[in-house]
A and B are shown apart, each in its own frame.
Chain A
Amino acid sequence: MEVTFKILRYNPEKDKEPHYEQYRFEAHENMTVLDCLHKIKWEHDGSLAFRRSCAHGVCGSDGMRINGKNHLACSTLLKDLNTKDTITIEPLPSMPIVKDLILDMTDFYEKYYAVKPYLINKSPVPPDSERLQSNEDAEKLFESAKCILCACCTTSCPSTWSNDNYIGPAALLKAYRFVFDTRDDAADERLDIIDTPDGIWRCHTIFNCIESCPKEINITWHISQLKKELSNREL
């Protein structure tokens, strides 16, 4: 079948503004959007720039806007899109474009670093064995630990669109990952960091994050657990 891709292109050395370019080519319904971008790059226009690595939804490199929805190019198959109409590909919103589909993600990473995304444990560890943790407690972390930092959630959130300083769902999810780890001693420190007007309270439970998460993480639920923890703390 023939498909048409309309891609937002921007080369800072040539273009004043981003603009759309169209590509029409032969494709198969089992191809992913990433396969199609490769086809365009490798057969038509070598200058098309996008990030990608693992190509099966684990590394989180190729989050982009596909027909207006944030998703991974490598996890979106043509058969799941309406290929009769033009397929529109744009970079994720709310981040500066560097070139074509490549964004400057510095701010996204800074917010992730802000929640101290590492285990802080002040008590001595057993010298020759693991710390015990029930499987139930371990599994409480698994869903949040699935996060691949693709930024699909944070850039899908209207709160992000309206306020650059909002910490965003990805960083909050990371905070959950450690606040609820029975081995971690710095829950209060992290809760303080997110307990600000531009922190967790800017989440208005809009659920866009859940819809856009390629790993199907119920991000809003995780954020609500943090909110509960904060309310309990204040009582």
Chain B
Amino acid sequence: MIHKFDVVIVGAGGAGLRAAVEIPKGYSCAVISKVFPTRSHTGTAQGGVCAALSNEEDDSWLNHAFDTVKGSDYLGDQDAIEIMCQDAPRAIIELEHMGMPFSRTKEGKIAQRKFGGHTKPEDPNDPNSRRLPVQRACYSADRTGHVMLQTLYENCIKNNVNFFSEYYLTDLIIEDGTCKGLIALDMATSEIHTFHAKAVMFATGGYGRVYRITSNAHVGTGDGCALVYQAGLPLEDMEFYQFHPTGLWRLGILVSEAARGEGGILRNSANEPFMEVYAPTVKDLAPRDMVSRAIISEIRAGRGILGSDGTYYINLDLTHLGKKVIDEKIPEITGFARTYLGVEPTKESVPIQPTAHYAMGGIPTNYDTEVLYDNKGKTVTGFYAAGECACVSVHGGNRLGTNSLLDIVVFGRRGGKKIAEFLETAKQIDFNSDPSEKTKEKLTNLLSQSGNEKTAVIRRELQQNMMDKCGIFRNETDLTEMKQLIMQYKERYNNITVQDKSSVFNTDLVETIELANMLDIAESINDGALNRKESRGAHMREDFPKREDEKWMKHTFIWKDGSGGNPRIDYKPVIKTRFEPMERKY
């Protein structure tokens, strides 16, 4: 079946829905998503969305921009960061106007709390004075992402946006440097749908599922990023993958930084509040990359707590916060601790371990969300990307907590606006040939191929090895081994038997296609990590422990099409405006 739309947005999380709201009524717009919109992963964000609203204390967007640049370990593009931080107060107020319920201050304004890496100078007249944590994260208890997603979906209902729920993206159609549409599988029937569009936006989210312990939903398999890579376009900064310091032990379920924003403290086996050693000023509110490394360092030094299954964890102590704060400010996450670990957070510490959480890298775009064709600034006509799948880059080497919810609303809207501008003159360009052929052939092959491999087995091996060899601490030996392993998985992939042959909700088939995407994503992360011989942000090379600005303050661009089955790598300079790189101490 062929559909014609002015614009097709893939992904119904915050970025996709915010973009859809922005498309003027005169244009036809469809949003396709592999889950019903309110099931999207934005809904699991907990702690907050930041903006220098100054509702609780004096703050400025420049403070926010400084923190974001420093948090990014000077890999973020400063022009894009300035745009985001300057636009943040407007974006949050707009969400309030759309109906998002927020926790409130005594005066009835949007309430704000502290979050990792968000600071301001102690002396407002001296920008170089010691920086202390600031209340910048706007929140709705610890369900900020959930109510944001609901609000954006509600506004789409109000605007009569067309949704194609449970449609799974299988191909991206780029011909002669122009994006002409995409192919999707209707999961309920296995029918192949061609979406012919003047503009396409990917808001397809992240790929935490390439790691064994992750906070990400099962749908976080990086389909959008992988299809871009498979289409011969570059991905940017894939080696920068964030591990959130506090996932529930063994499970990886997120325990928001809000727990530490409200005063929670990390403690080792000797009950010591060890973050004092790693970040003397901001302690437990240091950025995520540093806290995750500190946790692993404590465990490696023998100061972890031995769990029942032989693995080690660290304690997150919330007991001193009192029942009232726990029940009112962080009810959801403390509920997770009760449900999944049987721990009562008002009385005992919560066992945690770092969990794969967020992709700083992704589809390269400019700050108007136009997808880059190369590392020289050329764009793909009619193709846009926003949200976690995109790399603008506002997060650089390490994202600050609360900046992802901000990213999706700021750049979702900018994308919508840019698309509307593009549609004023854009024409629907015919396909060169039937673009659905490739998908049909792929599906036929997958359903007919047989061998003794299972999707779940290869996936589990990939996830475990990515965790062990391409996780928080990396080195040449492990990464080289991982590269070999990924090549082996790709060969074994051809021997997978898809057990389910039916055409109704064949989730066995979908998981198998997802695995191919995950293998490409893992390849791009691992090759990027092997190539980058320095340590910056979330990318920590034990064999190159220092940040090397002269050589490496640049973005990695990686293409699938290098020689001998190897990806090709090139670079793009970081854009600097007003923030000079300095040593990153907290």
Contact = CB atoms under 8 A, between A and B. Distances in A.
Interface stretch (A45-53, A87-95, A218-226): A45-53
B543 interface: no
B461 interface: no
A117 interface: yes
Interface stretch (B146-154, B227-235, B384-392): B146-154
A62 to B, nearest CB: 10
Contacts of B431: none
A218 to B, nearest CB: 14
A118 B154 contact: yes
A51 B105 CA distance: 39
B44 A12 contact: no
A130 to B, nearest CB: 4
Given A56-B253, A119-B99, A141-B101, A46 B498 contact: yes
A111 B499 CA distance: 37
Contacts of A16: none
Contacts of B293: none
A130 B104 CA distance: 11
B586 to A, nearest CB: 30
B45 to A, nearest CB: 10
Contacts of A138: 101-104
B422 interface: no
B267 interface: no
Contacts of B104: 132-135, 137-138
B102 A42 contact: no
B430 to A, nearest CB: 34
B500 A53 contact: no
Contact of B38 (A12, A135, A149): A149
A81 interface: no
Interface string B104-139: 111111110000000000000000000000000000
B457 to A, nearest CB: 8
Interface residues of A, number: 60
Contacts of B97: 121, 125, 130-131
Interface in B146-203: 146-147, 150-151, 154-155, 157-158, 188
Contacts of B143: 142, 145-146
Contacts of B492: none
B217 interface: yes
Interface in B435-488: 454-456
Interface size class of B (residues with CB under 8 A): 35 or more
B504 A75 contact: no
A49 B339 contact: no
A183 B96 CA distance: 10
Contacts of A86: none
B456 A55 contact: no
Interface in A69-85: 75, 77
A142 B502 contact: no
A183 B454 CA distance: 53
Which of A32, A53, A99, A117: most chain B Cβ within 10 A? A53
B340 A129 contact: no
Nearest to A129: B93
Contact of B500 (A32, A47, A59): A47
B419 interface: no
B503 A130 contact: no
A125 B93 CA distance: 10
A153 interface: no
A43 interface: yes
Given A130-B110, A133-B104, A46 B219 contact: no
B141 interface: yes
A16 to B, nearest CB: 15
Interface string B505-537: 111100000000000000000000000000000
Contacts of B96: 130-131
Contacts of B498: 46
B531 to A, nearest CB: 33
Given A49-B500, A54-B43, 16 more contacts: A47-B508, A49-B507, A58-B43, A118-B158, A130-B92, A130-B109, A131-B96, A131-B97, A133-B102, A133-B104, A135-B103, A135-B108, A145-B147, A146-B143, A146-B146, A148-B38
Which 3 A-B residue pairings sit nearest by Cβ, starting from the closest? A119-B99, A46-B499, A42-B456
5 contacts: A11-B502, A30-B340, A43-B456, A57-B339, A117-B154
